[in-house]
Amino acid sequence: MRPMTITEKILARHAGSKEVTPGDLINAKVDIALGNDITAPIAIHEFRKAGAKKVFNRNKVVLVPDHFTPNKDIKSATQCKVLKDFAIEQRLSHYYEGGDVGVEHALLPEKGVVVPGDLVIGADSHTCTYGALGAFSTGVGSTDLAYAMITGELWFKVPESIKFIFNGKLNKWVSGKDLILHIIGDIGVDGALYKAMEFAGQAIERLSIESRMAMCNMAIEAGAKSGIIAPDAITKAYVEKRAERRFRFYSSDLEANYSEIREYDCKRIEPKVALPHLPENTRNVAEVGNISIDQVVIGSCTNGRLEDLEVAARVLKGKKVARHVRLIVIPATPFVYGEAMKKGYFDIFLKAGAVISPPTCGPCLGGHMGILAAGERAVATTNRNFIGRMGDSKSEVYLANPAVAAASAVKGRIAHPDEVVGRK
């Protein structure tokens, strides 16, 4: 049998094959089929149009209305009602709303719905987040989601893999967000087109699950089909206390074939910022210059987890947000919300002058809870900074990690955390 990458092994198992090769067209069984309040209503329409009566497995179809919730208007309320009615009709085990709902790609790992070795499809491009647990996960269209909801299967073209190796230790204030921005700045937004991005090396082995999720989440911003990290002791410690199902660890064979291997020295990687209007437009924060801002958003499926809020609180403690800046903090899930409150992070945020939102995607996609006017600039821990992404087409979004975002809120301009906390 030919040596295979972790991605190829997972796809082969779910296709019922001993091996697969990049370029193969396969039909594979899915473990989780996910939709949200934007994409699932279309899938549900196609489900009914096809004459389907029941989903293939009520425990494996997941609906999370997170993008425009709490419902911002009548249209979003109608979208969410479609999900709710379908979830009740189909008796879905995994439907979340109100005080249970969180940003889908933070919520599912936290609740143990996704586990290592899974094949996960979601009608949302950032479904690739779950690669952080050692799952193959990828975004699909709503009609593909409908097909999977009916049959429990979907076709795939087996992707080639690119391996990204990070050597050494991370510098201060550097996280998984900076590593993935560094990669995208290096290879561009189409540098991994339809490839599986596999992250490895000493630095990755020491990364928290939260930082790993941030990296895999943004694989799509390099055009990738998926992002993935081989599961290890850190993964096991995270999943074994929350996994709903049995899980399986896969790893790449030493002789596995990659279309490309890139190595990076972490000593050379500083906190990054992606300037408008593409995630590839990256620079070191220290090299950006004096760029004033109007808003800071700390949250999203990329950086709205507890670790992210802890870092932001560390920078903001005892500080005040600049008078002309709106700081919006969005915990990604109810659990993160509750833990942040218990740990005193909310006190720090409120004293600094922040607004704390309930869990939602909100402003990330220009939904609500922080829309930009023409001429306004925002620093955000989100994953995209396309034209008009967070509001008016004449607004600007700068992507950064939570420490940089918090420091920028205090300074009123894009700033390095050392400017606020000081060097120690």
Do 259 and 358 lie in one domain? The reply is no
Percent of the chain with pLDDT over 70: 100
Structural domain for 392, as ranges: 271-421
Query: How many other C-beta atoms can be found within 10 angstroms of the C-beta atom of residue 103?
Result: 29
Q: How far apart are CA 137 and CA 376, in angstroms?
A: 35
In a domain, 119, yes or no: yes
Do 257 and 278 lie in one domain? The reply is no
Q: What is the pTM of this model?
A: 0.94
The answer to whether residues 114 and 120 touch, using CB atoms and an 8 Å cutoff, is: yes
Do 31 and 173 lie in one domain? The reply is yes
Do 170 and 30 lie in one domain? The reply is yes
pLDDT at position 424 is: 56
| Mean local confidence (pLDDT), 169-174 | 96
Do 232 and 278 lie in one domain? The reply is no
User: If pLDDT is split at 50, 70 and 90, which confidence band does 322 have?
Assistant: very high
The string of pLDDT tens digits covering residues 52-105 is 999 999 999 999 999 998 999 999 999 999 999 999 999 999 999 989 999 999
Burial 80-97 (b: 16+ CB within 10 A, else e): bebbeebbeebebebbbb
| Mean local confidence (pLDDT), 168-174 | 95
Do 189 and 285 lie in one domain? The reply is no
Question: How many separate domains does the chain show?
Answer: 2
The two three-digit tokens of residue 177, written as one number: 């967000």
Please count the residues of the chain: 424
Do 287 and 220 lie in one domain? The reply is no
Do 275 and 256 lie in one domain? The reply is no
Evaluate if residue 422 carries a pLDDT over 90.
Answer: no
Q: What is the mean pLDDT of the chain?
A: 96
The answer to whether residues 313 and 421 touch, using CB atoms and an 8 Å cutoff, is: no
In a domain, 1, yes or no: no
The string of pLDDT tens digits covering residues 338-351 is 999 999 999 999 99
| Mean local confidence (pLDDT), 135-142 | 97
In a domain, 308, yes or no: yes
Query: Strand pairing of 153-157 and 25-29?
Result: antiparallel
pLDDT at position 27 is: 97
| Mean local confidence (pLDDT), 285-309 | 96
Evaluate if residue 423 carries a pLDDT over 80.
Answer: no
The two three-digit tokens of residue 46, written as one number: 């196609």
| Mean local confidence (pLDDT), 356-378 | 94
Query: How many other C-beta atoms can be found within 10 angstroms of the C-beta atom of residue 267?
Result: 11
**Which amino acid appears at position 389 of this protein?**
R
Do 382 and 251 lie in one domain? The reply is no
In a domain, 52, yes or no: yes
| Of the residues 264, 293, 310, the one at which a domain ends | 264
The answer to whether residues 219 and 314 touch, using CB atoms and an 8 Å cutoff, is: no
The string of pLDDT tens digits covering residues 141-158 is 999 999 999 999 999 999
Do 319 and 251 lie in one domain? The reply is no
The string of pLDDT tens digits covering residues 108-124 is 999 999 999 999 999 99
Q: Long-range contact list for 7-12, CB < 8 A, 24+ apart?
A: 7/136, 7/158, 7/159, 7/161, 7/196, 7/198, 7/226, 7/228, 8/158, 8/161, 8/256, 9/250, 9/252, 10/117, 10/118, 10/119, 10/135, 10/136, 10/250, 11/119, 11/136, 11/156, 11/158
The string of pLDDT tens digits covering residues 261-290 is 999 999 999 999 999 999 999 999 999 999
Do 212 and 280 lie in one domain? The reply is no
In a domain, 285, yes or no: yes
pLDDT at position 397 is: 97
Angle between helices 306-316 and 345-352 (to 10 degrees): 50
User: If pLDDT is split at 50, 70 and 90, which confidence band does 2 have?
Assistant: confident
**Which CATH number covers residue 311?**
3.30.499.10
| Mean local confidence (pLDDT), 4-24 | 97
In a domain, 27, yes or no: yes
| Mean local confidence (pLDDT), 192-196 | 96
Rg for the chain, CA atoms, rounded: 21
| Of the residues 264, 299, 314, the one at which a domain ends | 264
Do 244 and 319 lie in one domain? The reply is no
| Of the residues 197, 229, 264, the one at which a domain ends | 264
The string of pLDDT tens digits covering residues 212-245 is 999 999 999 999 999 999 999 999 999 999 999 9
Percent of the chain with pLDDT over 90: 97
In a domain, 373, yes or no: yes
Residue 317: exposure state from Cβ atoms within 10 A (0-12, 13-18, ≥19) = middle
Evaluate if residue 310 carries a pLDDT over 80.
Answer: yes
